[in-house]
Structure 1
Amino acid sequence: MLKLGDSLPEFIGTNQNGEPVDSQNLRGKKLVVFFYPKARTPGCTAEACNLRDNYSVLKKKGFQLLGISADSVKRQKNFAVKNELPFDMIADENHDVINKFGVWQLKKFMGREFMGIVRTTFVFDENGICIQVIDKVKTKDHASQILD
């Protein structure tokens, strides 16, 4: 998993509109990259909506947001439209971006083990250097974790 001081990995993802998002074009801005297990589930919806509700504050502080999961473009589109999300949601079905950040890991839930996305948020400065890793995400109050 990426850690403090690491550089933003190079990637080209596909957003909810089927458009490419190139990490090279994200440098020069403060960037929040949040990984979530599955669109339209309760925790992921709470997290995305909390960021949506605080988007103007985050934007005023100079942050750009990017959500990423292993969902399809169609599922990301439905998620973004239904919840009126004002930021890009990357569909990473092949785990290309997910693996570069190191968030595809062994998880345990209700006594069973499986591979999946570990809910994690990375904050990068204008130079593409990781300045914060949030691995204990509070889905209903995530924006305050980023702003603190």
Structure 2
Amino acid sequence: MLEVGTTAPDFCLSNQDDVEICLRDLRGKWIVLYFYPKDSTPGCTTEACEFTSAMDDYDDLGAIILGVSADSTQSHRNFIERQSLSITLLSDPTTQMMQSYAVWAMKKNYGKEYMGIVRSTYIIDPKGIIKAAWSNVKVKDHVEKVKEELVTLQG
């Protein structure tokens, strides 16, 4: 994980509508940047639906929610449509951005090792500084914990 207090690495990625979203264009806003393994899988669906359900609260806090996976923009569109999501999903098929955020790592499953996305979340402040970080996120209650931390940070 990147350390709290460091500058968030810049990125430019396509969202579900093939529109480029760049960190530099979001300066001045709070950002909840969460990384998840795969569209339409159980944990990822729960997390995306819970962030969508909490959108009004995050909007009230002036925060933008961005989900990132290696899935294609088409996969993101299908996921959003099937689940009626209102959050923005970014596509990082090269994993370059995920590597810069230290969430692309060696994982083990049933004795097999492979490179994959470690479910993680960062809160980035309006100046582009990482203010909070979670690694190996457990989906249950995570959206609420992130929101509580955001309220605390905005003090």
TM-score by length of 1: 0.95
Corresponding residue of 2:43:
43
Equivalent positions of 1:89-100 (< 5 A) are: 89-100=89-100
Number of residue pairs aligned between Structure 1 and Structure 2: 148
| Distance apart, 1:81 and its partner CA | 1.6
Corresponding residue of 1:114:
114
Q: Which 10-residue stretch deviates more, 95-104 or 132-141?
A: 132-141
- 5+ residue gaps, structure 1: none
* Partner-residue secondary structure (3-state), 1:45: helix
Aligned mates of 2:45, 2:6 — CA distance in 1:
28
Aligned mates of 1:135, 1:91 — CA distance in 2:
20
Please list the CA deviations of residues 69-109 of structure 1 after superposition, one character each: whole Å capped at 9, or x if unmatched.
00011101111121222121011111121111111100112
Aligned mates of 2:130, 2:41 — CA distance in 1:
28
RMSD: 1.1
Aligned mates of 2:6, 2:80 — CA distance in 1:
29
Percent of aligned positions that are identical: 37
**Cα pair 2:36 2:118 within 8 Å, conserved:** yes
Aligned mates of 1:126, 1:85 — CA distance in 2:
25
Q: Is 1:132 matched with 2:132?
A: yes
Equivalent positions of 1:1-148 (< 5 A) are: 1-148=1-148
**Cα pair 1:51 1:142 within 8 Å, conserved:** no
Please list the CA deviations of residues 39-80 of structure 1 after superposition, one character each: whole Å capped at 9, or x if unmatched.
110000011001111111111112111000000111011111
TM-score by length of 2: 0.91
**Cα pair 2:51 2:87 within 8 Å, conserved:** no
- 5+ residue gaps, structure 2: 149-155
* Partner-residue secondary structure (3-state), 1:139: coil
Aligned mates of 1:139, 1:78 — CA distance in 2:
21
